[in-house]
Amino acid sequence: MPSHPNSVTIIGTGSYAPSNVVTNDDMAKIVDTSDEWIRTRSGISARHFAAADETTSDMACAAAERAIEAAGIERNEIDLIIVATMTPDMPFPSTACLIQSKLGLPNVTTFDMQAACSGFVYALSVANSMLLSGNFNKALVIGAEKMSGILDFEDRTTCVLFGDGAGAAVLSAEQTTEKVGILGVLGGADGSNPSLLQQPAGGSAIPATTESIASRQHFLKMNGKEIFKAAVRVMGQASTDIIEQQSYDPEDLNLVIPHQANMRIIESLAKRLSIPMEKFHNNLDRYGNTSAASVPIALDEAYRAGRIQSGDLILLVAFGAGLTWGSTLIKWQ
């Protein structure tokens, strides 16, 4: 390991989606909705739902295995695991600890991070700092969610929007002649109105009771209209801020990988940056909103499709419950 690394690069990516594909027509059999209603409001045509016995850690491990294989390293080279999720297998121990055990990685610094849909971008920021400290060499960063476990299938405005899956990246600390890999990271939060997007019960504020279960407080609740307006604002600001911070212009970007929540939000971001939609990698139509798994799944898909080449300038940007938001600028190496 270099004593003073100056770059953190992504050396391998992987992703996983459950085999159960649920189309909009399938959803219409569960709630009062239609393919047209969902597609015109969100851009989603299908999503993946995990099996009843398939956990967040199961999906995360599958994505991690693929990322490690793509990185071409021995798994025991990994000395840091960060898992971004808001649907852990259980409140404790952390899902990261369960993954560490399943992957057979002893004596690894391991923890979960909860920033909702911004989680993977937040986790990249933390991993980047920890690797640059020189105390760690290679990090496994995972975004994984079983959103189907917290969806209210009596609420057609929310249950049609989300899906399950996992994405992973292996990061390496490097000593390079020029700054490559993760160039910069930004994050922010505004917790003044948590009711915009939340799971009210299950924590210390509203512990599980017969009443909380009966009133469906353990399911996701969202004010879609207000979330949309906030997302357009913070995604745009986080993108322009990181680009300016690193002394680039939007037209310098080769690819943008945004959080896959709503196609109209992504189109608004493209308009704000004045770059064509062709520079965006979108898979929202096939996955729905997979929360913290959204960006890493899209990143892996874009790389494996040949959309990312060495030297490309890549922007990752996300927003989530909290509200949280974050962006990462990468010079791919």
Point out the residues that are catalytic. 117, 259, 289
Q: How far apart are the first and last CA of the chain?
A: 18
The rounded distance, in Å, linking the Cα atoms of 190 and 193 is: 8
Angle at CA of residue 261, ends 256 and 265, nearest 5°: 65
Evaluate whether 296 touches 316 at the Cβ level (below 8 Å). Answer: no
180: left (phi over 0), alpha (psi -120 to 50) or beta: beta
The span from the CA of 43 to the CA of 143, in Å, is 22
Q: Which of 139, 129, 53 is nearest to 96 (CA)?
A: 139
Query: What is the DSSP code string of 106-159?
Result: -S-EEEEE--GGGHHHHHHHHHHHHHHTTS-SEEEEEEEEEGGGG--TT-HHHH
- Pair type for strands 164-174 and 197-198: unpaired
Cβ-contact 170, 78 below 8 angstroms: yes
Distance (Å, rounded) from C-alpha 12 to C-alpha 139?
A: 11
What is the DSSP code (8-state) at residue 188?
Answer: E
Question: DSSP letter at 274?
Answer: T
For residue 307, the number of C-alpha atoms closer than 13 Å in the C-beta half-sphere is: 18
